[in-house]
Amino acid sequence: MIDIRPQSNFTPLKELDEQLERLGLLAERYFADDPKTNQRR
């Protein structure tokens, strides 16, 4: 089966733990979609 997910900094984590890769992908997405949630105060 071909994996069509986009390449990410977290893609190599899939070999260790798919859930960890998924969390990394979500973090990357939320960083771009909602940068205010990533600001330090």
Q: What is residue 4's predicted lDDT score, i.e. its pLDDT?
A: 64
Q: Report the alpha-carbon distance of residue 41 to residue 21 in Å, rounded.
A: 27
Higher pLDDT, 38 or 19: 19
| Domain boundaries of the chain, sorted by first residue | 11-41
Model confidence at 41: pLDDT above 60: no
Each residue's pLDDT tens digit, 6-37 = 678 888 888 999 999 999 888 888 777 776 76
Q: Report the alpha-carbon distance of residue 41 to residue 23 in Å, rounded.
A: 23
pLDDT-based confidence at 39, cuts 50/70/90?
Answer: low
Q: Give pTM, 2 decimals.
A: 0.59
